[in-house]
Amino acid sequence: MKLSQSSPVFFFCQNLFRLFCLSIVLISCAKEDVKPLLSAYGNGLWVVNEGPFGSGTGTLTWISRDGNRIEQDVFGKVNQRPLGNIAQSMQSRGNQGLIVVNNAGKLEWVNLQTMVSEGMLQGLALPSAVVVDPVRGKAYVSEWIRFGGSGRVAVIDLVSRQKIKDIPVGPFPDALLLANQQLWVANGDSNFVTVVDINADTVLTHLEVGDRPNSMVAWQNKVVVMCGGRPSWAGIETGGSIHLCSTTPLRVVEEDTFVLHGQHPKDMILMPSGDAVLYQLEAANGFGLQQLGLPWASAPINPGLPLFPKVFYHIAFDPYGNRSFYATDAGNFGQAGKCYRFNGQWSPVDSFTTGIAPGHLFFVP
């Protein structure tokens, strides 16, 4: 039977067909929630980009270990909001990531595999470094509070994600180290380190070292403390020094200075071999990456030719895989920086573009 275009049946069928087509179009145009892939970020490293000082936001750059996948501002893109000004450091406990944001005064909690935000702890006073005690379920975050005054360390419960205690320390606490059930705090605008009992979260002692302690490593039940010395622009210049401290009893057992007052070491890290430290030297001669064996000879430290003649913004060894060495270059601190990967002969073999002021490096297995 042929339907007439004027018949009621024809109009019913025509409208039904139009409604069906419209529903198909609407379904095809509907925007689905974009969910990050499960385990999207594994086998690589995070570059914590501080961002422009005083304005803008810090960001996170993801670099896969094979170097084939580089993603910029991952936190911002996943969470559709900025991380905050100045992104300072990063740590984790299992799949729980912690990002310290200095000027924003907060600790950001994230899913380490997807970078989805899981909340934040606000109200911190210029937080800087973070270390995690997985056994006791706590994190320690250094707080500068203000420039020129004494700082503190915030004790954070990893279950409730709340601050449970403040530990008073010295001025400008920056580097933190867990060793032998103790927390070591390098008070960067002083000549002493603070040692804390992590069971009671109370101060055990303050050990006098050199001017401006800036980095520490644990070595054979001892702690090595590197001090940069006071630069000329900060008053009477003093040289750098290195100190070997025992954890039981708490005391300095060996200490030596650098030959020249103009030699200022920083950023000491333990070599993968465990029998030497790598550090950066700011000096008129011998500046760049330097190595010192452990234990060192009891004499003034006289660095020779550098392994690589450049002072980077941050350095780190990948604790996984082939233990590659990485270094970041912040350039002029106003544009995208670089992250370099080195081979065993101290030559850069890869370079990766990062965000502004690439600093702390956090490695993911």
Range in 2-11, 118-127, 318-327 with the lowest mean pLDDT: 2-11
The model's confidence at residue 16, banded by pLDDT at 50, 70 and 90, is very low
Q: Are 193 and 261 in contact (CB under 8 A)?
A: no
pLDDT, position 34: 40
What value does the CA radius of gyration of the chain take, rounded to a whole number of Å? Answer: 26
The model's confidence at residue 321, banded by pLDDT at 50, 70 and 90, is confident
pLDDT, position 5: 43
Q: What is the mean pLDDT of residues 15-40?
A: 42
- Name the nearest CA neighbour of 59 among 104, 24, 96, 21: 104
The average confidence (pLDDT) of the chain is: 90
Task: Give pTM, 2 decimals.
Answer: 0.89
3-state secondary structure of 125: coil
CB atoms within 10 A of CB 166: 14
- pLDDT exceeds 50 at position 8: no
Q: What is the mean pLDDT of residues 186-205?
A: 98
Give the alpha-carbon dihedral of 198, 203, 208, 210, to 10 degrees. Answer: 60
Beta bridge partner(s), residue 247: 250
pLDDT in tens, 277-301: 999 999 988 899 999 999 998 788 9
Instruction: Return the HEC string of 287-335.
Output: CEEEEEECCCCCCCECCCCCCECCCCCEEEECCCCCCCEEEEECCCCCC
Between residues 336 and 322, the one the model is more confident about: 336
Q: What is the mean pLDDT of residues 228-247?
A: 94
Q: What is the mean pLDDT of residues 113-127?
A: 97
- Name the nearest CA neighbour of 128 among 155, 92, 74, 90: 90
How long, in residues, is the chain?
365
